[in-house]
Structures are given as C-alpha cells and as structure tokens.
Amino acid sequence: MKKRSGFTVMARLIGLVRPLAGFMVLAIGMGLVGHLCASFITIFGGFAILNLIGINAPLSLDAVFICVLVFALLRAGLRYGEQACNHFIAFKLLALIRDKVFLALRRLCPAKLEGRDKGDLINIITSDIELLEVFYAHTISPAAIAFVFTILMCLFISSYHWALGLLALTAYLVVGIVVPLTVSKASGDDGLRFRTKSGELSAFLLDSLRGLPELLQYGYGEKRLAELNAQTDALSGNEERMKRVSGRNSAVTGMIILLFDLAMMFTSAGLYGKGAVGFDGVLIPTLALFSSFGPVSALAALGSTLQNTFAAGNRVLDILEESPAVEEVTGQMPIAFTGAEAERVTFSYGPEIILNNLSMTVPKQKIVGIVGRSGSGKSTLLKLFMRFWEVQKGRVAISGREISSVNTVNLRNMESFVTQETHLFHDSIRNNLRIAKLDATDTEIIDACKKASIHEFIMTLPQGYDTPVGELGDTLSGGERQRIGLARTFLHNAPFLLLDEPTSNLDSLNEAVILKSLKEEKEDKTVLLVSHRQSTMRIADTVYSVENGRMS
C-alpha cells in the first residue's frame, strides 16, 4: 500500500469535487451566512443590554428584537440548505467514486487482482468509500467557512480595539489549526492501521463463511472462531485508542475555548480600566468571541476523525491510481482471425520463470492440445494469448499481428476462454449464460447448452433456465458449473477457443458429448486445448508437451 501524507490525500479527494463545484460554493455561502447569523444573535443580545443600561448602541431595542427574529429564521433555513447541499455533494460523489473504483477494477482485472483478498476489496468498495462522506459533507465546506468567518469576526472585534482582534485571531488559529494538527500527529498511523485491519477481518470472515462446511467437517471451528475473536479484539483495541484520542481532543478543545473566553474578558476589562475602550468594548467583543467558536471547533473535532477518513481515502486512491498490468488498446484496424502463434516467449511471475523461450503455432480450424505437469505454464500460456499479462520476451500474435497492437475489443470478440473454475453469478441460469452474448435468443442459448451437454439437466429443474444458481453457483455441482461455462463459450461464438481443463469435472459420457461438439465446431473454429486427460487429447490434431516452461 502506498503511504500518502494527509495533505496529499486531502488534495486528491478535493480534486474529485470539481464536477460539483457550484453546489460546494453554494454550501459554503449558506454556511458562512448561517454562522454569522448565529453569532450575531448573541451580539444583538449585547446591544439590547447596552440599550437597557443607557449606553448608546448601534441598534435600538426594537430593531434588536426584529433582527434577532429575522436572523434566527435565516439561521434555521441556511443551516438546512447548507446541510442539504453538503450531503447532496457527498452522496453524489460517493456514487461517482464507486463508479471510478469499479472502472479501475475492470482495468486492473485480472492480472492485478489475482491473489487480492476479496473481503478487503469489498471493504474498500463499501465502508471505506462510505467513510469519505465525512470528508465531503463535514470537512471541505466547514474549513472554507471557518477561514472566511475568522477573517470577518476578527475585523468586527478589531473595530473595538486591535489587541482584541489579535487575541481573537490567536484563539481561532489555536482551536482551528493547532489543535487538529496536534491531535492528527498524536494519532499517527492509527487510522490507516484500523482500516487495514478492518479489511483483513472482512476477508477472514468471508473466507470462514465460504469454508464453513470444511470447518465443521474437520472440527476446526473453535480454533477458527478463536482466530476471528483475536482479530476482532485487536481491531477493537485499535478503535479504543482512536476514541480515547478523540475524547481527549474534545476535552482539550473545550478547555482552550474557555481559557480564550476568559482571556478576552480580562483583556477587554484591562483596556476598559485604561480608558482604551468603553463598556461596549468589553461586552460586545467578549460576547462575540463566546458565540463564534462554532466553525473552528468543528475543525478541531476533525483532528481525530479525519485520521480514519484519510486512511480510507488512501486505500481508495490505491485502487484508483494503480497502474494495470495491461493497457487497453484502441484505434487499430480490426482484424479477422486466421491463426495464432507464440514465438520465443519468456514469462515469469516475479523471480520464478514460468515460460522459457517457448514457441508454438495454432493453425486456423485445427485443435491443438497442450499437456504437461501442474505448474509447467500451460494455463499461463492461455492467459498470454488472452493478453491478461504482457509477455516479457518474445511475441504472441493473432493473425500475424502482435496482440499488444490488436484492439482489446477486437481481441475479446475473437477469443473465448474457459478456465478451470467457472464463476457463476447469483442469478438465473439464463442470465448467467447471457453474459457471453447479451442479445442471445432462447434458441441460441438452448443450442449452446446442447453442445455443452447441459440442456437436458436444466430442463429437469423446477424453473428450467430461470432457475437461480445461488451464490457462486453453490446449488450446482462442479461438473454442472463447468458445462455452463462451456455453454457460454459456444454462445459467445468466437473463432478461437482457449480451453483450460474443460472436462476435468465431467464423467466420460458428458465428456464425449462435449468433445464431439468441439470436433464438429472445428469447421469454423480453432481450439487451443489444455488437459491432463488422454481421452480429451484424442480429438487434437497436434499435441504439444510443456515441461519446465519449454515446449517439446
């Protein structure tokens, strides 16, 4: 995870507000006027006192009562308007950020997401993004309001005496800047650790729920529960430290405000004793300071809460700023499939070389088989043909053109890829099939399922093709899921099929039906087939053997 300073995170998050800048300006304007109304209601009380004791005041007693009524109504309306604008901005931006995150995940998938904890990703998409609501609804406009409000109140208090204005400025700076920065520094990396541990706990819990049958079968439930409790306790301890800092922050802020209020009262009284100000110069500046800490005290409270928010923002920015392993290609002339080849390809995950100087040719309308022990690089080779990863040496080509210069959409339309594990969405069988071709007719779907030897099974289900498959397809067997994956491939109707152990979970009867379909499809399809089964390889025109990343 890339560690960014709080200012860097804040600047990047503020940059996302640009599409809603008009609403932000409106929120700041309403908030500023609203806070001035709230403060001046108290100041008008001071004017009323001056009238009652016979000292000249800027407003008569009647005018004071009218102004208090008007300002109170304005304060209520403006406060509502400010909060409405801020929350509209916040929730609109959360939707935009989620959209950006999903687009980023699409760019990163599959290479950069292999091995990532899905629970942690879910935590980022949900709770981490949700935490940014605090920043957008309760940080940006309050900070801008506090800045302008401080200037205006200092000028007003300075109109009675410059020393009082300077004291007010010092009070605002200490409460609004020094306190939150000090608390933020004291919090250190607690917020980042909390968000990271929260993501780890989500991943651990999701993993435990998926593996619940195995935990029960082997009696590992109590130990797993103890590990879950240990992680929960560690997370609670981290949160307790953050809450303790937040509580101390509130107490210290309140004490500092009280001390500055007393300092204003005694300073103005001292100036009154020297004849530098009149009684109004004691009363009004003191009341003005008493009633004007709202905007800056809101900033003081952010010192601890923003640690958590910035940590969440840091994790979201990690996703948004991550560079994909493979960039999408556009703007090239489309090509038709006429064959594929790998030439002197070398590829490694980190220091371990998976493929070493490997070459092979896949002629059009042929079935080419690849065999080899587990870990020899067979699946990796298929992923390179799909351009999930870039080759590090050599070239992979489709129709004589390197795939790095083939439009990504064009490449995906020419290829169908069946992996060893078929992912099914929590939806109906029909909709799970239609992801291969959104506008597929029922006839096309049924034809693809017959080729995959799954149609008859589907028709035995109570709702047929509209039967829900459950989360991750857990209502179906491994072989049934695999056949639905093959049906997707037939439905996609691409000219180049890349099949990674497509019959590993099937019995010999279903395997025979599918192999027959593949043999028949050879008239207008090219197949690159990985399998350990000798029976599967019988349909191949050519068989390559991969050992230690080399072709033989």
Q: Average pLDDT, stretch 172-186?
A: 79
Q: Higher-confidence residue: 149 or 3?
A: 149
- Under the banding of pLDDT at 50, 70 and 90, the label for residue 70 is very high
Cβ proximity of 93 and 136 under 8 Å: yes
> Radius of gyration of the chain from Cα atoms?
34
Is the model more confident about 517 or about 435? 435
Which DSSP category does 322 fall into? Answer: P
What is the pLDDT, as a whole number, of residue 69?
A: 93
Q: Say yes or no: 312 and 396 in one domain.
A: no
Nearest to 530 by CA among 441, 452, 363, 418: 418
- 334 located within any domain: no
Residue 332 lies in a domain: no
Assigned domain for 329 exists: no
Q: Report d(CA 493, CA 416) in Å as an integer.
A: 8
Q: Are residues 298 and 380 in the same domain?
A: no
Q: What CATH number is associated with residue 353?
A: 3.40.50.300
Integer Cα distance of 82 and 411 in angstroms: 50
Q: Does 177 lie in the same domain as 317?
A: yes
Q: Decide if pLDDT at 544 tops 60.
A: yes
Using the structure block, give the residue that is written with the tokens 């520094």. Answer: 185
Question: pTM for this structure?
Answer: 0.67
Residue 229, number of CB atoms within 10 A of its CB: 10
- Strands 339-349, 393-398: pairing kind: antiparallel
- Higher per-residue pLDDT: 392 or 520: 392
Strands 393-398 and 542-547: unpaired
Please check whether residue 171 is in contact with residue 255, taking contact to mean a CB–CB distance below 8 angstroms: no
Number of domains comprising the chain: 2
Enclosing domain of residue 265 = 6-321
Per-residue model confidence (pLDDT) at position 251: 84
**309 lies in the same domain as 348:** no
pLDDT at 552 over 70: no
Residues 55 and 149 in one domain: yes
- Looking at the structure, tell me whether residues 181 and 263 fall in a common domain: yes
Tens of pLDDT, residue by residue over 301-348, are 666 666 677 777 788 888 888 888 888 888 889 999 898 998 998 888
Cα angle, residue 118 at apex, residues 116 and 123 outer, rounded to 5°:
115
Output DSSP code: residue 317: H
Q: 480 in a domain, yes or no?
A: yes
Alpha-helical regions (H) of 408-526: 408-414, 429-434, 442-451, 455-459, 478-492, 508-521
Same domain, 146 and 25: yes
Q: Are 41 and 75 in contact (CB under 8 A)?
A: yes
240 inside domain: yes
Of the spans 114-118, 184-188, 462-466, which averages the highest pLDDT? 462-466
| Inside any domain, residue 455 | yes
- 272 and 375 assigned to the same domain: no
- CA angle 514–516–521, rounded 5-degree value: 95
Average pLDDT score over residue span 360-378: 85
- Are the beta carbons of 243 and 250 closer than 8 angstroms? no
What average pLDDT does this structure show over 523-536? Answer: 81
Domain-terminating residue out of 321, 350, 368:
321
pLDDT given for residue 95 in this prediction:
83
Same domain, residue pair 415 and 455:
yes
Based on the domain organization, do 362 and 457 belong to the same domain?
yes
Nearest to 421 by CA among 374, 461, 473: 473
Model confidence at 176: pLDDT above 80: yes
- Res 549 pLDDT > 60: no
Q: What is the rounded average pLDDT for all residues in the chain?
A: 83
Single out the residue of 498, 486, 542, 155 nearest to residue 337, CA to CA.
498
Confidence of residue 141 (pLDDT cuts 50, 70, 90): confident
In a domain, 328, yes or no: no
Residue 420 has pLDDT above 80, yes or no: no
Same domain membership, residue 403 and residue 299: no
409-to-135, 175, 308, 412, 414 alpha-carbon distances in Å:
38, 56, 40, 5, 9
Residues 302 and 433 in one domain: no
Write down the residue that tokens 């969405």 correspond to.
425
Average pLDDT over residues 103-132: 76
Report for 178-182, 346-350, 364-368: range of highest mean pLDDT: 364-368
- With respect to residue 331, please indicate whether it lies within any of the assigned structural domains: no
Question: Looking at 291, 321, 351, which one is the last position of a domain?
Answer: 321
Evaluate if residue 248 carries a pLDDT over 80.
no
Of 469, 472, 451, residue with least CA distance to 461: 469
Q: What is the pLDDT of residues 180-226, one digit of tens each?
A: 777 767 666 666 677 777 777 877 887 787 777 777 777 777 888 88
What pLDDT sits at residue 507? 72
pLDDT value at 6 more than 70:
no
Last residue of a domain, one of 290, 321, 352: 321
Per-residue model confidence as pLDDT tens digits over 81-100: 888 888 888 888 888 888 88
Could you tell me which residues come within 8 angstroms of residue 122 by beta carbon, excluding any fewer than 6 positions away?
A: 202, 206
CATH of the domain at 291: 1.20.1560.10
